[in-house]
Amino acid sequence: MIILLKENANARQVDNLKKFLTNRGFDLHISEGTQHTLIGLIGDTSKLDIDLISSLDVVESVRRIQEPYKNANRKFHTADTVVDVGGAKIGGGHFMMIAGPCSVETHDQILSVAESVKASGANMLRGGAFKPRTSPYAFQGLHEKGIELLREAKKQTGLPIITEIMDINHLPLFEDVDVIQVGARNMQNFELLKELGQTRKPILLKRGLANTIEELLMSAEYIMAGGNEQVILCERGIRTFETATRNTLDLSAVPVLHKLTHLPVVVDPSHGTGVNDLVHPMALAAVAAGADGLIIEVHNDPPHALCDGKQSLTPEQFDHLAKAVRGILPFAAKEMTWE
Amino acid sequence: MIILLKENANARQVDNLKKFLTNRGFDLHISEGTQHTLIGLIGDTSKLDIDLISSLDVVESVRRIQEPYKNANRKFHTADTVVDVGGAKIGGGHFMMIAGPCSVETHDQILSVAESVKASGANMLRGGAFKPRTSPYAFQGLHEKGIELLREAKKQTGLPIITEIMDINHLPLFEDVDVIQVGARNMQNFELLKELGQTRKPILLKRGLANTIEELLMSAEYIMAGGNEQVILCERGIRTFETATRNTLDLSAVPVLHKLTHLPVVVDPSHGTGVNDLVHPMALAAVAAGADGLIIEVHNDPPHALCDGKQSLTPEQFDHLAKAVRGILPFAAKEMTWE
Amino acid sequence: MIILLKENANARQVDNLKKFLTNRGFDLHISEGTQHTLIGLIGDTSKLDIDLISSLDVVESVRRIQEPYKNANRKFHTADTVVDVGGAKIGGGHFMMIAGPCSVETHDQILSVAESVKASGANMLRGGAFKPRTSPYAFQGLHEKGIELLREAKKQTGLPIITEIMDINHLPLFEDVDVIQVGARNMQNFELLKELGQTRKPILLKRGLANTIEELLMSAEYIMAGGNEQVILCERGIRTFETATRNTLDLSAVPVLHKLTHLPVVVDPSHGTGVNDLVHPMALAAVAAGADGLIIEVHNDPPHALCDGKQSLTPEQFDHLAKAVRGILPFAAKEMTWE
Amino acid sequence: MIILLKENANARQVDNLKKFLTNRGFDLHISEGTQHTLIGLIGDTSKLDIDLISSLDVVESVRRIQEPYKNANRKFHTADTVVDVGGAKIGGGHFMMIAGPCSVETHDQILSVAESVKASGANMLRGGAFKPRTSPYAFQGLHEKGIELLREAKKQTGLPIITEIMDINHLPLFEDVDVIQVGARNMQNFELLKELGQTRKPILLKRGLANTIEELLMSAEYIMAGGNEQVILCERGIRTFETATRNTLDLSAVPVLHKLTHLPVVVDPSHGTGVNDLVHPMALAAVAAGADGLIIEVHNDPPHALCDGKQSLTPEQFDHLAKAVRGILPFAAKEMTWE
């Protein structure tokens, strides 16, 4: 960490700062310019509060050289983390294909989708039981009943299941859930992250709509600081001025994350674009960019169905996509155990 | 609500849609163009799930004419909501000045700040006990002890107190807190909002960094749908590409909100700019734009203090600001009961 | 186009509006709801000034059904446009690989880069002669001399050349340039676009940092309205809050553009990310997303070179990339005539 | 400027860098840490190409301490620049009120608006003759005829006039124009800026939709580097995700600019919000934030007028606004010579 002091910084306050830092075990390396003084900190600064330092009267600015995350940092853990979910693996060259409906609706719906995505090669089933909705008047999911139905689908198909948690008090309901998803809106729900850090279940952590890649890693660090090392990161689009897509899928985040962290990275092109016919090309693009997995919305399509997510694929479309993904996986040096 | 059907929409599916809508009690007004068909819905659409409708195969797009919020909507509640917090009022011409430190640190600190901001004319005391921090390693507040110290400051000065909640399980600790703050990162923590809707305490709801004004109102609607009508909205900056300020304070939100809702609107120029010397001009600008209140970070300034928030004012600076605010309040048709 | 009138719209003004529209040859389809009236316009609205209509006192809002561009619109020109640049083709399944240095610096530099990128399979040479720079004090290119050097490289290698124009008065210098590039900062330099519409040279039009996909198409329309149909669109990143990359490369723009327009789409991952080691994965992702071409910065690497663009590839890295692109082109149903 | 070298930087290349810098006249201040080496540059770095330095293989990152602009920098020119336009002054406590129609349309229109805004206290007349429009099919202004009509209005009312230039070849038409406006879309049309730097007319430079405050100052620097010191900056909204307003008016830019530069700052709440009834509150907010002037769209309102800009004020609304501005000017330590 490099601290740039203000011109004409009060000498006593600078002294206080130096004492504060040496008391915390840092070696200081002072460099006096004609106008400015720099203090270089030698030691582990990942747990030093940068906001506190940069708010000091005598400090012009602070620049980290070390990243502010440690457990998630590839520098201290060079090998890829591989998360094993009942035999389905992600990370370290293992590719994971997660598919399923936006919401769990009925027994027949979830069973039918589960079987068809499995047949197409998915190795995990998704489905929302607790749905975060902008409006209090919108359908919010089947809750316990939804998880119950997912469990049945798991039993019948053997696919591990992933579903979203919205309140830490619901945790007991997630006992048979294989991967717990933290949604974009809860990426900085720090109390929730801390509690999940106490569990030993894999967590799929979605990037918030307005959150930087570094903030995503800091949220992963919250979970890992509690001892839960099995974090899967998920890029699902950020909010920009563009309105042709619901969000702007930031695929650059995939190679950036691979440089910074050893954690696996999944891409969600369904929420990332919000448009059905963009899912296929953006899913392939995600694989080409190096994603370790995909999470895709698939709905069943009975003749009279009223509702089919604008961004969901039909089972046929998903089957077509899964084949295309298989085609390019070798070019991305990934492979998958197709069930 | 106007539903634009796709060209060549499947007739049977269109029929299903019409039945679905009439079953929900809407009168339909069909308008057939040469290429497109429009369905106008007559009835209360605020509780209709727009995402469900717009995801239908036959639907090109949906446009609301009615706003999707009802309790927060000025159309159905034309008079300004006035929230009365132990005599300090906000809304309907009443201006509220909230001030205090970022974090509650010590007994002496919070007492000293409380007394000085009261002397300058603040009528509510703020102070963080639970602090949302990007890093798990940063100081996260004094928790129960922080609320305890706020309570003492309230007792001594008579100022009502406001502090942030981060987890619904902490609610019992907030019994003596006068206004509960929901931070920007929790604006769409819907489970938290629902629980707060069950309380009868005023809630100060901060706009999320990437949230639209309409989403802010939908989150207020979550609280109000539970029966808690005392919601104070807070603009505190949105995330943009500009880096000269920590956030971009969107002051246009103030008059936009005043058109759309009867709820009072507070501006937080401290977090909104993140820079000490921008607080004064932006606070005045907020008042000129019609804000019903301000929330300002003020720290005490003992000679050897190490930490002073980059965005905090000294008591002297706050006193100067409070005087300036008083000067222009009449031009904004607001008044304040200065304690 | 659907015009939603305000509640209680002044009857005479509504009448004026109706006359105005019928005088312009539109058939009107009026639909009176209980509160609102809709006017549907039947006819070619692409040349109707939507801002003028939406600014009327009686108008609540206006919604286009037709897109506001005509020449660029795939609806009126379903087949892909193929641009043929001296045998190198782009569009309609033809893939183009453009490569070269950020700036043309010396005879040896440009010749050396040209030969190496040609050997790796590029079929067009890029190189900046006029460089838009944020600072007036930064190197702004070799100007005429730069174009002269490009011409020599073209002569020697047979590669067609592309370079950026910044001022319409420079047009005479571009006589031997094969494709004229309009940079992101000039995407809405409408006077420049109009003049380029008068030429019959292919134009590569880069998307502005803050411009929507629709605005990009409107700028293409400016060129095409002048009779120049050879427009190549280029996604090169948009400006967002994320700072890990210089810009956020919006790859979704590729399939979105392919739906909306028949014009070919190129991706620039060098400017789009601003980081050398992100170029390879994002170039592959662009191909997988369906891009019709790539434009890549490549610098030569003499041992003592001082300057090598942070985002440029070495010739070896480019060779590696070109091979990888060739690998996945078939999966994107594209092919390329490798020189 | 502080240059942070990479770990394990190639020693010969570091040597090359040091020679390069000392050859340019800088004193170097080297500071070796355990892992990283810093080079501090002492000397005038405003003309050093930061992109070149940061692109070097051995450089991890570069941080400016000095701002990259010199002529516009308050550090080297502490007193406010006052621009005097035929007696109407702006800057240094002088407030300027610019008003007029979006487009010049007819003789009667511009004369009528000019007289009414003068009567209300405006001291400069605006009006578009060349109109940048997203669509090539939209009305683009009266061009020469428009400037001719502005000149007549100036003659009749004595108000100085301001209008926008879109192409440097039009410059001869601007001989009688008092202030030349550079629109947001041309803020980085560097060739235009350079030419305007050769004139000796005041330039009103609008901030681009996606441009940072620093980039605005760099564009001002382009003009000033040519010798034209009379630059007026204009905040007119930036592009964000929020859609309730056309742009997000970034009023924080006003005090930020006042810290960084001596140039006067005008705010355009008409384009900044795009909504008629937001103009009044945001204009007052701009004054409270310290703006040196306002630029407001005002249209005349003949009974049968078809078009009135959605964001324009009526003369009555402008008169009301001008009175309110007069009320709070003293609180902002500004004054105005009302004609």
Chains in contact with C via at least 3 Cβ–Cβ pairs below 8 Å: A, B, D
Which residues does D contribute to its contact with B (CB < 8 Å)? 210, 212-214, 238, 240-245, 248-256, 259, 272-273, 277-278, 281-282, 284-290, 324, 327-328, 331-332
Residue C305 banded pLDDT, cuts 50, 70, 90 = very low
Helix, strand, coil shares of chain B, percent, nearest 5, are: 35, 20, 40
Site from A306, A311, A317 to mutate, B interface, most B CB atoms within 10 angstroms: A306
φ, ψ of residue B20 in degrees (nearest 5): -55, -40
Which chain A residue has the Cα nearest residue B309? A55
Q: How confident is the model at residue B36 (pLDDT cuts 50, 70, 90)?
A: confident
pLDDT band at B62 (very low <50, low <70, confident <90, very high): confident
Q: Please determine, for residue C100, whether its predicted confidence score (pLDDT) is greater than 60.
A: yes
Query: Which residues of chain D does B208 touch, with a Cβ-Cβ cutoff of 8 Å?
Result: none
A contacts of D33 (beta carbons < 8 Å): 29, 40, 42
Q: What secondary structure, in 3-state letters, does C207-247 show?
A: CCCCCCHHHHHHHHHHHHHCCCCCEEEEECCECCCCCCCCC
Residue D205's DSSP bridge partners are D182, D233
> pLDDT band at residue B305, thresholds of 50, 70 and 90?
very low
Shortest distance between the Cα of A328 and any Cα of chain B, in A, equals 30
Q: What is the DSSP letter of C82?
A: -
What residues in D contact A239, CB-CB < 8 Å?
241
Q: Given A35, A40, A241, which is nearest D241 (Cβ)?
A: A241
Residues with Cβ < 8 Å from A209, sequence gap 6 or more? A184, A185, A237, A238, A239, A247, B210
Q: Hey, of B207, B215, B239, B251, which one would you mutate to test binding to chain D, going by the most D CBs within 10 A of its CB? A: B251
- Which residues of chain B lie closer than 8 angstroms to A20, CB-CB? 306
pLDDT of A304:
42
Q: How many CB pairs under 8 A join B and D?
A: 116
Residue B28: per-residue pLDDT? 87
Q: Which residue of chain D is at minimal alpha-carbon distance from A240?
A: D241
Q: Which residues in chain A land under pLDDT 70?
A: 33-35, 301-309, 338-339
Nearby residues of C307 by Cβ (< 8 Å), 6 or more positions away:
D52, D55, D56
Query: Phi/psi of residue D22, each to 5°?
Result: -70, -35
pLDDT at B63: 82
Cα–Cα dist B238/B245, whole Å: 11
Instruction: Determine contact, residues C67/C73, Cβ cutoff 8 Å.
Output: yes
Task: For D283, name the nearest residue in chain B, comparing CA atoms only.
Answer: B289
Section B130-134 average pLDDT: 91
Mean pLDDT computed over B172-185: 97
Residue stretches of chain D with pLDDT short of 70: 33-35, 301-309, 338-339
- Candidates C1, C4, C5, C29: best to mutate against B (most CBs of B within 10 A) is C29
D-chain residues near C167 (CB < 8 A): 168, 191-192
3-state secondary structure of C1: coil
Instruction: Give the single-character DSSP code of D298.
Output: B
- Does the CA dihedral B163-B169-B173-B178 come out positive or negative? positive
* A26-58 residue pLDDT tens: 888 887 766 678 888 888 887 787 877 887 778
Averaged pLDDT score across all residues of chain B: 91
Closest CB from B38, B60, B239 relative to C241: B239
Query: Which chains pack against B, by 3+ Cβ pairs within 8 A?
Result: A, C, D
C-alpha distance from D66 to closest chain A C-alpha (Å): 11
Facing C139 at nearest CB: one of D17, D49, D169: D49
Residues 6+ positions from D148 with CB-CB distance below 8 Å: none
Least confident range of B46-50, B236-240, B256-260: B46-50
pLDDT for the residue D123: 95
Nearest by CB to C68, which of D135, D167, D310? D135
| Binary contact (A68, B215; C-beta < 8 A) | no
Q: What separation, in Å, do the N-terminal and C-terminal C-alpha atoms of chain D show? A: 48
Residue of C194, B95, A28 lying closest to D34 (CA atoms): A28
Contact criterion met (CB < 8 Å) for A212 and C255? no
Nearest chain C residue to A210 by CA distance is C241
Interacting residues of D10 by C-beta distance below 8 A, sequence separation 6+: D57, D58
Q: How many CB atoms lie within 10 A of CB A12?
A: 11
Structure confidence by residue, pLDDT tens digits, B198-225? 999 999 999 999 999 999 999 999 999 9
Q: Which residues pair with C38 in a beta bridge?
A: C4, C31
Q: What is the pLDDT of residue C34?
A: 65
Q: Report pLDDT digits (tens) over C73-92.
A: 999 999 999 999 988 999 99
The residue of chain A nearest to residue C272, with distances taken between CA atoms, is A252
Instruction: Say if CB D292 and CB D266 are below 8 A apart.
Output: yes
B→C interface, C-beta within 8 Å:
2, 4, 29, 31, 33-36, 38, 40, 42, 60-61, 63, 65, 239-241, 243
CA distance C156 to chain A (A): 34
Taking residues C281-290, report their average pLDDT. Answer: 98
Q: Determine, for residues B38 and C42 on separate chains, whether the beta-carbon distance falls below 8 Å.
A: no
Residue pair D55/D17 in contact by the 8 Å Cβ criterion: no
Closest residue in chain A to residue D246, using alpha carbons only: A241
- Place C338 in a pLDDT band, splitting at 50, 70 and 90: low
Q: Tell whether the model's pLDDT for residue B34 goes beyond 70.
A: no
Which residues in chain A are contacts of B49 at CB distance < 8 A? Answer: 135, 137-139
- Chain D residue with CA closest to B280: the answer is D289
Across the interface, do A190 and B166 touch by the CB < 8 Å criterion? yes
Chain A residues close to B48, C-beta within 8 Å: 137
Instruction: Tell me the residues of C at the A interface, defined by beta carbons under 8 Å apart.
Output: 210, 212-214, 238, 240-245, 248-256, 259, 272-273, 277-278, 281-282, 284-290, 324, 327-328, 331-332
- Comparing alpha-carbon positions, the chain D residue that sits nearest to C57 is D308
Report residue C2's pLDDT band, with 50, 70 and 90 as the boundaries.
confident
Distance (Å) from the C-alpha of residue D303 to the closest C-alpha of chain C? 9
Partners of residue A279 in chain C, C-beta under 8 Å: none
pLDDT tens for each residue of B280-294 = 999 999 999 999 999
Q: How far apart are CA D194 and CA D207, in angstroms?
A: 17
Cβ separation D327–B331 shorter than 8 A: yes
Q: Is the ipTM above a cut-off of 0.90?
A: yes
**Nearest residue to A179 via CA among A100, A105, A110:** A100
Q: Grade residue B335 by pLDDT with cuts at 50, 70 and 90.
A: very high
Round to the nearest angstrom and report the end-to-end CA distance of chain C.
48
Instruction: Reply yes or no on whether the pLDDT at B302 is more than 70.
Output: no
Neighboring chains of A (3 or more beta-carbon pairs < 8 A): B, C, D
CB-count burial class (<10 Å; 0-12, 13-18, 19+) for A6: middle
Contact A49 B208 (CB under 8 A): no
Q: Name the E strands within C284-337.
A: 293-297
State which residue of chain C sits closest to A275, comparing Cα positions: C256
For range C314-330, the mean pLDDT: 95
Residue of B nearest to C6 (CA): B65
Give the H/E segment covering residue B58: none
* B304 — pLDDT class (breaks 50, 70, 90): very low
Interface test with D, best of C19, C50, C55 (most D CBs within 10 A): C55
Cβ atoms within 10 Å of D65's Cβ, excluding its own: 17
With an 8 Å Cβ cutoff, the interface of chain A facing chain D consists of 2, 4, 29, 31, 33-36, 38, 40, 42, 60-61, 63, 65, 239-241, 243
Q: How far is D328 from chain C (nearest CA, A)?
A: 30
The whole-chain average pLDDT of chain C stands at 91
